[in-house]
Structure formats: C-alpha cells, structure tokens
A and B are shown apart, each in its own frame.
Chain A
Amino acid sequence: MVYRVFLLLVFLAIAIGGGAASVWFALDNAPLTGRFTSGPWQAFPLLGTPQADPYSRARYARSGGLPLGPSEGIVLTAREDSNGDPLRRTCTYVISGQLPPARLWTLHLTDADGGFLPDHGRKRAALHSRMVVYGEGNSLTVHVSRQPQPGNWLPSEGNGRMQVVLTLFDTSVAVTSDQFSDLRLPTITRADCYA
C-alpha cells in the first residue's frame, strides 16, 4: 500500500514537475523560431500573429508585446556587427548602405533587453527617415558612438551590450525566406573601441 502511494507520488512528480519544468526551459532558453536573417539583421515577422507556432505564441503572450502587423511595418534587429561580433556600447560603429523602400523608418539603440538607451543631453539614441542627412544616391551613413559625431549620430551611452533596431513602416518589403536574405540592408562596421 505504502509502495503504491510512493509510486503514485513519483508518477505525479515526474508528470507535473517534468512537464512544467520542460515548458519553462523551452520558453526561456530555446531560440525563437520563425527567424529571418540578412547579414547582422534579424526579423521575426510571424511573432504575435495567429500564424506563429505554439511555442512562439506562448512566449510572446507572456511578454505583453504589441507586434507590428504586415501592413504596419517590420522590425529588424541587429545584436551583432557585420563581422558577427556582439555590439558593445564601448565601441564605435558605422552603419552604412541603402535602406529598403518604406514610407517611414526609424533607427534606435536599445540595451540587451530592449530598453531604450539614455539620451546624450538632448540628443536621443534614435533617428528617423525625415531627419537624417542622406548621401549620394540616397545612401545612409550613421555613426554609433559615445562621442558626438558629425552627420547622423546615435549616442551609445553606458556600458555593456546593445542592439540596433531598424523599423520600416508601410513598406513593400514582405519577409519571406527567399526575399529577405536578398534584401539589401546597411552594414554595421566596427570602427574602434574604448578600453
């Protein structure tokens, strides 16, 4: 009798404990599915839509996020430079190249968790398409640095990792696997690093 109760407890511990622990592990540690990459840029176009897989859906539901729909725009995030090294706030970077057609785009810096980087005085760590200076042939050059830079400048205050987030609003870019890897996006080149 005692042995039976013991077996039942073992069964319940494995079933409930194991089931819950494996969900927790899967949602917190497994890489997000449905990712499209192009150079250093990543996009998760299905995140927060009914087309997402059950794991992405469960994870997204817990985040309280408000994903952009396909007619609103698309978010591209870079955690690494074009060489594959993590983006650090102690380094300076040059983002340069052409941007895909969009009615409006914004470019901003965040910390590793997605929080905005602090302003540098009155200068925000963000730019948008109607305020930047364009180069020849509508090309774009943006300097990411702690120190003020001439031209388009994103201040990267603080220490630690950062992400560059490019959001294209009202764009014809539809993210599908073939199209996205062929998309011409700016490169992110590291210039130099402080200490």
Chain B
Amino acid sequence: MLRFVHTCILGLIAAGVVHLAIVFMLPDHTVRDAWSRISNAADYYQTIQLDARPDSPLRIDNPYFAGAACRFSLEDGLLHVRSEGKIPFWTLAIFDNRSQNTFSLSDRVAEDHSLDTILLTPIQMQRLKNDPSADLGQSLFVETDVVEGFVLVRAFIPDETWEPQVRAFLNSIRCEAVETQ
C-alpha cells in the first residue's frame, strides 16, 4: 500500500513536469497557429491574400480590413517588401515562426505613405553600412532579430468603392530576398 501511495505521489510530480513541458512546447509544435497555416498555403516569398472569408488561410478579424502575407528567411538575404499604389491606411507587422507579432509599423512612418520596406538583421545592417557601393534607396529599413517568419500587411477598405484599389495594392505586394555579399 505504501508503495502504491509512493507511486501516486511520484506520478503527480511527473504530471507537473509533463504539464509544463506541454505548455512550453505547444507553441512550437501546434499545427493550428498562423505560421503553420501560412506555411501550408504558400511557399517562401509567395504573397497570399487574406480576409475574413472562410476560405482565407488566415482570418483578418476586422470587417473593414483585408491583408496579404508572405514568408521569409533572412538567411537567404535581406527581405524587400514593396507594393504599388496608395491607399487610405495600412499597417505592417513582422511575425516570427512562433506566430508572435514582434514588430509593427503603420503607414505614417513610411515615406509618402507608400510601402517599400527592407527587413534585415543587425549584422546585415552593419555589413550594408560598411559597403560603400550599396544603394540604400528610398526604402524604410527595419532591423529585426527574427530570422524566419512572415510579414503581414493589413489594409483598410473604407467602403466598396475602395475595394478594387485596396485589393490591387495588396495583390501588388512583392516579397523578394536580396542577396548580399
């Protein structure tokens, strides 16, 4: 009997360990998170369109917004995200491969409210600064520690008359890896 009680107590302690292990491992192993869903829907650097419709791979949970997303890996080089056209309002967020929103900005900080952003690691930024031949252009530079993740652009659709223009903006989003020396 004593051994049975002893076993039960050990079992409870082990249950605590199992509990913590599951809680900490779940974000990395779930297949229901945003990263897994976008990975199933599209390859790296391929832009996918998102909204609140049931067939959207990820749901944008605001009735006046649509979105577009692409996966990246900064091991391939810098990420250049840009689009054509102007729309009333957009935001950009960088999610890591655990589906966490790690950095965000709104169009207010972008030159001319247009989307032209380069995402890079601090090391890549340092290399770029030391390279006199690098053409930094007009892009907005964002340093990040996220090596693998996805970029999400959300765009405001004030009413139906704006729909074609906003969809065209989202459709024109290009995500490209720019190789550096």
Contact = CB atoms under 8 A, between A and B. Distances in A.
Interface residues of A, number: 53
A79 B10 CA distance: 43
B7 A11 contact: yes
Contacts of A7: 3-4, 7
Interface stretch (B99-107, B126-134, B171-179): B99-107
B60 A68 contact: no
Interface string B5-16: 001101110111
A18 B17 CA distance: 10
B66 interface: no
B23 A23 contact: yes
Contacts of B17: 15, 19
Interface stretch (A55-63, A138-146, A178-186): A55-63
A26 B26 CA distance: 13
Contacts of B3: 3, 7
Interface stretch (A35-43, A69-77, A93-101): A69-77
A14 B61 contact: no
B8 A14 contact: yes
B64 interface: yes
A166 to B, nearest CB: 11
Given A169-B89, A170-B106, A15 B159 contact: no
Q: Is the interface of A mostly helix, strand, loop or mixed?
A: mixed
Interface residues of B, number: 56
B98 interface: yes
A55 to B, nearest CB: 6
A73 B60 contact: no
A131 interface: yes
A67 interface: yes
Interface in B99-119: 99-106, 108-109
A14 B156 contact: no
Interface stretch (A80-88, A122-130, A187-195): A122-130
A61 B32 contact: yes
A66 B106 contact: no
B49 interface: no
Interface of B: 3-4, 7-8, 10-12, 14-19, 21-24, 26-27, 30, 32-34, 37, 52, 58-65, 67, 88-89, 91, 93, 95-96, 98-106, 108-109, 152, 154, 156, 158-159
20 contacts: A7-B3, A7-B4, A10-B7, A11-B14, A16-B15, A20-B22, A26-B23, A50-B100, A50-B102, A57-B98, A58-B23, A61-B27, A64-B32, A66-B61, A66-B93, A68-B91, A68-B101, A69-B101, A104-B89, A131-B158
Given A19-B19, A50-B102, 14 more contacts: A7-B4, A16-B18, A26-B19, A48-B100, A54-B23, A57-B27, A58-B24, A61-B33, A64-B59, A65-B61, A66-B58, A68-B91, A106-B64, A169-B89
Interface of A: 3, 7, 10-20, 22-23, 26, 48-50, 52, 54-55, 57-58, 60-73, 103-104, 106, 108, 114, 116, 124-126, 128, 130-131, 167, 169-170
Ranked 3 nearest A-B pairs via Cβ: A19-B18, A69-B104, A14-B11
